[in-house]
Amino acid sequence: MREIVLDTETTGLSPAEGHRLLEIGAVEIVHQAPTGRVFHHLINPERDVPEDAARVHGHTTEVLRDKPVFAALVDAFLAFVGEAPLVIHNAEFDMRFLNAELALLGRPPIAMERVVDTLALARKRHPGQANSLDALCDRYRIDRSKRVKHGALLDAEILVEIYGELTGGRQRSLSFEERREAGAAALALARRPIEPRPARASLLRPEEADAHAAHVATLGENALWRAYSPAEEPRTAAV
């Protein structure tokens, strides 16, 4: 099964207040293993980045000024996502921003019905406990040492491992690299053309084949059997 694990970074907390996307990170997984295909872009939000937001993810107005706007990336993003389910932590937040950006371009929204919210999964599995990405990494002993600041691609890669733990679908002994290799192998297998099977030799004895051919000959030229298996001439026994 193909899914897209996704994370975003933004200029603030609400698109209704004029805040915009500034980074998208997405990881393709097949049977919950990374295939090696990712979609990752910094985005010019076409507005300033408040200092409190920049402290979270490290992306300033100056850094983003020469990056492509969302309109320049939307087709590539939608092509990468395709019709696959989206796996997102605290999905309502990211989906509000994604759909707000799509609405600005007159594009249809992405339905929440195709989204798996790992925060909801974590709350169901660990009620009353902290279920942030950091808390889940600590609970499942997932390395988060590189997560000094929030980053969309890094968080999506971490979420791949968390998602596997929440659904019981991954072996904890596998590293992210090993999972990516396993996913790539699964994707290659899924895309491999199916080769036709070689014809099997008939198990009929010669006398059985002769009897069958003789019977078909009595059915007439319009017999339904002839549409599936052309009649053979009865064979004569060797002298």
- Cβ neighbours of 99 (radius 10 Å): 17
57 is catalytic: no
**Cα dihedral across residues 114, 153, 162, 90: positive or negative:** negative
Identify the CATH number of the domain in which residue 59 sits.
3.30.420.10
Considering the domain boundaries, does residue 18 fall inside one? yes
How big is the CA angle at 153 (ends 151 and 156), to the nearest 5 degrees? Answer: 105
User: What 8-state DSSP symbol labels residue 70?
Assistant: H
| Cα 33 from Cα 120, distance rounded (Å) | 21
Do 229 and 163 reside in the same domain of the chain? no
- What residues make up the domain containing 187? 2-191
- 30-75, pLDDT tens digit by residue? 999 999 999 999 999 999 999 999 998 989 999 999 999 999 999 9
Distance separating alpha carbons of residues 82 and 23, to the nearest angstrom? 19
The active-site residue out of 40, 126, 150, 212 is 150
Q: Are residues 180 and 87 in the same domain?
A: yes
Together in a domain, 210 and 186: no
In this structure, the answer to whether residues 133 and 98 fall within a common structural domain is yes
Shared domain for 229 and 141, answered yes or no, is no
List the single range of 52-61, 68-77, 111-120, 162-171 with lowest mean pLDDT: 162-171
Count structural domains, the chain. Answer: 2
Same domain, 57 and 134: yes
What percent of the chain is modeled with pLDDT above 90?
65
